[in-house]
Chain A
């Protein structure tokens, strides 16, 4: 465990920052994908409902 702690403390801080930045970017992209998915899916549902109401099928 002592070795592990020593290893952790000597880790390159810049690399850790880079990993954190990547994680944040991924998280942001994830959220955006969710927003876009909600817009696409709800629009698709509305269009299909409208087409049904207009007697297309």
Chain B
């Protein structure tokens, strides 16, 4: 009688056949340290908030230029008019190094940790919020995020069908713009049976759109006289990538950055539902080849670090630490965000603009701008109705 031999029985004791540990997905410390060190040094040189022990920073240099140069309409060029803060300085320094000088190959593994630093910052953001903030921002954030995730996906589905883009690319762009950019795009790729060049194309469009938003949205926000809360919500709802969401918020103001980080959590929590929505919206019945289970999608895509945020926030609400400790946590949070922004700049390739191509720019940017317009209309309605300032 033939005996069934299981995988475990066959390969037991053969190290070469063992399944790789999940930790093998991380680059080793030996490979990562140059990039991590580079991010830390550049962030310190840009000027970390709350760390005044090192005076020779780009931030100090810009303030010196402002004091020496003749004022324009009574204001300093860099800090007052161009709003150069630590976010812009870190980003611009990173982008200039990547695109003008070039980034050594040895830095690349370490730079992949920038997303991790963003998560650290978001978890520590919990120390800056109390219960009344959640009551003030929570319900309105949820309503706007739900509307923007599902409404945004509908806009992209409509645009995709109108421009005959194909289901895979439509699904990829809808995921990238409605949820969290690159990650959502890659997560949905196998479900919509996308080809690798379609994935690369959608990523290029979303990343470059986010880059434009990062610098343009704060100016638009100031022009429209948006409050910190409103702008934080706008950046979380309108900018595709999470790193760029938070950078855009902090680029406007510290308070807006806090709100964008908080509201972005709402968007991340909606990823599992959004992925399923896009899957069913973009693919016709006859093209749905994979059996999708809601629970498996929820298990795979739910952002676990949200529990970390909730834990720190709960401790802060229970006054587990006094105000000075909370302020110190705010500074450490900013340092992690600075590392994330430097990493974001160092991984931003302006050549991606070319990769996106004219059609991608038109479709992605028009639909992305429509989402931002929709969000602005929503915000103005909510403000008019007195639910929000």
Contact = CB atoms under 8 A, between A and B. Distances in A.
Contact of A40 (B120, B166, B311): B120
Contacts of A49: 320-321, 325
Most buried by A among B26, B117, B167, B193: B193
Interface string A14-33: 01101110110111111111
B190 interface: yes
Given A26-B183, A38-B308, A52-B322, A32 B23 contact: yes
Contacts of B312: 41-42, 45
Given A25-B25, A27-B187, A19 B303 contact: no
Q: Determine which residue in A7, A32, A36, A37 has the highest number of CB atoms from chain B within 10 A of its CB, and name it.
A: A37
B308 A42 contact: yes
Contacts of B123: 37-38, 41-42
A18 B193 CA distance: 11
Contacts of A1: 284
A35 B22 CA distance: 12
Given A4-B167, A5-B286, 4 more contacts: A8-B167, A11-B193, A16-B190, A27-B187
26 contacts: A4-B166, A8-B167, A8-B193, A11-B195, A19-B189, A19-B194, A19-B195, A22-B189, A22-B196, A27-B301, A29-B25, A31-B304, A33-B116, A34-B119, A35-B304, A37-B116, A37-B305, A38-B307, A40-B116, A40-B336, A41-B308, A42-B308, A45-B124, A49-B320, A51-B325, A57-B328
